[in-house]
């Protein structure tokens, strides 16, 4: 609201199906921010939840005047929800964090202190220990960071969406008009001075993580294709390798033909058809992914659509 004091700190929390424990989370975050003795706001983005999340937010906003909230018209995904939050955040520093208390609010004072000293434009909390996630989750996360680092040069190993971001970086992030933003990658890509502090990933306060194997794969493809065109060069390179291979095999076949032993080699033919066939499909798939991205960007559809607001002075109903 325009008559509100301009906050120094804005906490941005995307919320999806967290109605059950929103109260406890808010109590902790509000207490932590209040202890810093600076004007603050708590921005909640309801990412199209279909439980009681929005009604809980409305109730809590009476108790906590610092609450500013947006309800999106449907589930747009965490990245879009974060972006919507950044759009309306007015603080000199913006803290992004999860709403399930896996990002411990106790860390906020330290982040704030580092930012106050002027040591960093972005204070980033990096995971040192993951709760009790499955071995599969840990292995795929490691593999993901490794691949990302190798092919895009953007190092986001163990990074999380728990960050304190200076206003000037937020402004830059908001000018990046990608339709499918990958927030962690973008904050790394924009540069600026970063300080990393380790933290232990807490257990989820309730509910379950919304990531399925499928959605993680989608995130992976999104992250890779938005930060690197190496897979495309890889396609051309593999084409070249296959060409060399085909030439060698061609010579070999001709030689066999010349020496009158041509009938054998049925297995080789079948294998070659299978290998080249699958490889071609894979390469086409890679090209298709990038084409899909271009298609998404060209459509210029909004990244999120706002359905309802609480205490928001001005926001476009879409972005
Ligand atoms: N979230 C969201 N939209 C979604 C999925 C998740 O806004 O489509 C929010 C969720 O409410 C939480 C944060 O993003 O605040 C992290 O989600 P989650 O705990 O499911 O992910 P994980 O901690 O397993 O990475
Ligand atoms: Mg979580």
Among 11, 13, 15, 16, the mutation site with the greatest number of ligand 1 atoms within 8 A of its Cβ is 16
Q: Is the CB of 18 under 6 A from ligand 1?
A: yes
Quick one: which ligand is closest to 46's CA? 1
Q: How confident is the prediction for the chain on average, in pLDDT?
A: 84
Q: Residue 263 Cα, ligand 2 centroid: separation in angstroms?
A: 61
Tens digits of residue pLDDT in 264-299: 666 677 777 877 877 887 888 888 888 888 887 887
Q: Which residues pair with 41 in a beta bridge?
A: 10
Ligand 1 atom 18: residue of nearest CA: 209
pLDDT at 228: 78
Tens digits of residue pLDDT in 189-206: 888 888 988 888 777 777
Instruction: Give the confidence band of 4 by pLDDT, cuts at 50, 70, 90.
Output: low
For residues 134 and 223, give the distance between their C-alpha atoms in angstroms, rounded to a whole number: 22
Q: Residue 100 Cα, ligand 1 centroid: separation in angstroms?
A: 8
Closest atom of ligand 1 relative to the 204 alpha carbon: 19
Tens digits of residue pLDDT in 108-135: 999 999 999 988 999 998 887 655 667 7
Closest atom of ligand 1 relative to the 81 alpha carbon: 7
Q: Is the CB of 98 under 6 A from ligand 1?
A: yes
Q: Is the CB of 211 under 6 A from ligand 1?
A: yes
Which residue, 9, 74, 20, is CA-closest to 45? 74
Q: Is the CB of 57 under 6 A from ligand 1?
A: no
Q: Is the CB of 48 under 6 A from ligand 1?
A: no
Within 8 A by CB and 6+ apart from 94, the residues are: 9, 10, 11, 12, 85, 86, 164, 165, 167, 170
Q: Is the CB of 85 under 6 A from ligand 1?
A: no
Please state the domain extents for the chain: 9-216+302-310, 230-299
**Max CA pair span of the chain:** 93
Tens digits of residue pLDDT in 130-160: 556 677 777 877 887 788 778 777 777 777 8
Q: Residue 240 Cα, ligand 2 centroid: separation in angstroms?
A: 44
Q: Residue 271 Cα, ligand 2 centroid: separation in angstroms?
A: 45
Second-level CATH architecture of 9-216+302-310: Alpha-Beta Complex (3.90)
Quick one: which ligand is closest to 208's CA? 1
- One-character DSSP codes across the chain: -TTSPPPSEEEEEEESS-GGGHHHHHHHHHHHHHTTTS-EEEEEEE-S-SSSHHHHHHHHHHH-TTEEEEEESS---HHHHHHHHHHH--SSEEEE--TTS-S-GGGHHHHHHHHHTT--SEEEEEEEE--S--HHHHHHHHHHHHHHHHHH----TTEEEEEEEEHHHHHHHHH---SS--HHHHHHHT---EEEEEEEPPPPSSS-----HHHHHHHHHHHHHHH--HHHHHHHHHHHHHHHHHHHHHHHHHHHHHTT-TT--HHHHHHHHHHHHHHHHHHHHHHHHHHHHHHHHHHT--S-BEEEEES-S---SB-
pLDDT above 70: residue 168 = yes
Per cent of the chain over pLDDT 90 is: 29
Is 209 buried (19+), middle (13-18) or exposed (0-12) by CB count in 10 A? middle
Closest atom of ligand 1 relative to the 133 alpha carbon: 24
Q: Residue 305 Cα, ligand 2 centroid: separation in angstroms?
A: 24
Instruction: Retrieve residue 146's tokens.
Output: 């490794």
Closest atom of ligand 1 relative to the 201 alpha carbon: 23
Closest atom of ligand 1 relative to the 210 alpha carbon: 20
Instruction: Give the confidence band of 2 by pLDDT, cuts at 50, 70, 90.
Output: very low
Q: Is the CB of 66 under 6 A from ligand 1?
A: no
């Amino acid at each position: 609201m325009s008559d509100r004091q301009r906050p120094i700190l804005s906490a941005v929390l995307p919320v999806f199906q967290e109605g059950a424990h929103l109260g406890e989370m808010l109590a902790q975050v509000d207490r932590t921010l209040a202890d810093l003795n600076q004007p603050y706001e708590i921005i909640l983005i309801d990412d199209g939840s279909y439980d009681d999340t929005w009604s809980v937010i409305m109730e809590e906003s009476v108790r906590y005047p610092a609450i500013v909230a947006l309800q999106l018209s449907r589930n747009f995904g965490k990245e879009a929800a974060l972006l919507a939050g950044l759009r309306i955040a007015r603080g000199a520093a913006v803290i992004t964090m999860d709403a399930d208390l896996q990002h411990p609010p106790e860390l906020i004072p330290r982040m704030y202190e580092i930012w106050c000293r002027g040591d960093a434009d972005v204070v980033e909390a990096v995971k040192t220990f993951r709760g009790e996630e499955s071995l599969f989750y840990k292995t795929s996360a490691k593999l993901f960071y490794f691949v990302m680092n190798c092919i895009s040069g953007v190092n986001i190993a163990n990074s999380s969406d728990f960050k304190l971001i200076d206003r000037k970086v937020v402004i830059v992030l908001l000018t990046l008009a990608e339709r499918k933003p990958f927030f962690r990658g973008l904050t790394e890509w924009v540069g600026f001075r970063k300080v990393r502090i380790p933290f232990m990933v807490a257990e989820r306060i309730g509910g379950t993580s919304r990531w399925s194997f499928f959605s993680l794969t989608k995130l992976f493809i999104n992250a890779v294709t938005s930060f690197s065109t190496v897979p495309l060069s890889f396609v051309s390179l593999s084409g070249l390798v296959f060409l060399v291979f085909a030439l060698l095999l061609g010579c070999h076949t001709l030689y066999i033909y010349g020496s009158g032993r041509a009938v054998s080699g049925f297995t080789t033919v079948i294998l070659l058809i299978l290998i080249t066939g699958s490889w071609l499909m894979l390469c086409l798939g890679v090209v298709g992914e990038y084409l899909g991205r271009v298609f998404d960007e060209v459509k210029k559809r909004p990244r999120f659509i706002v359905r309802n607001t609480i205490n928001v002075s001005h926001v476009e109903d879409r972005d």
